[in-house]
Amino acid sequence: MPRYQVVAAACLRVLLGLLWHYNVSWKQAPDFGQDAGNGLNKFTSDAVSHPVFPPYSWLVEHVVLKAFTPFGWLVLIAETTLAVLLLTGTWVRLAAAIGVAQSVAIALSVAFVPNEWP
C-alpha cells in the first residue's frame, strides 16, 4: 500500500477515535442522565418516543430502559474501548465492528428525532 494511503487511513482512524472519545464525554456515570432526563437516558428514550424500527423500540422500552444502569455502563465501556482502539491503532477491525454496532444503535435511536444532527 502506498505511503500516502497509509497516512490517510491513519488520519481518518485518529479522527474517528476522537469523535468516539467526544461521545464518551456526555455519558455521565453513575446515572447516565436518568435523574435529569438528559444524556444517554434521553437519547435512549428517544428510540421509544420517535421510533425508527418498531421492534428495536420495543426492545429498548422493555429491556434496555428496565435495566438502564448496566446498559449505561456497557455503552460507556464499549465507546471508551472503541476510542482507545482507534486512537492507538490496536485491533482496528474489532474497533470497526464495535463502531458499526454502536452506529446502528445510535441511528435506530435518534434518526427520527427532530433537530438531531444527521
| Residue whose entry in the numeric block shows the C-alpha cell 481518518 | 12
* Within a domain: 116: no
* Within a domain: 15: no
| pLDDT at residue 117 is higher than 70 | yes
pLDDT (tens digit per residue) in 24-65: 988 888 999 988 888 899 999 999 999 999 999 999 999 999
Full domain range(s) for residue 65:
3-10+21-27+34-110
| pLDDT at residue 4 is higher than 80 | yes
Cα gap 61→81, rounded to integer Å: 26
pLDDT (tens digit per residue) in 80-93: 999 999 999 999 99
Contacts 24+ apart (CB under 8 A), 31-35: 31/69, 31/72, 32/68, 32/69, 32/72, 32/75, 32/76, 34/68, 34/69
Q: How many domains does the chain have?
A: 1
Where does residue 16 rank: exposed (0-12), middle (13-18), buried (19+ CB within 10 A)?
middle
pTM of the model: 0.89
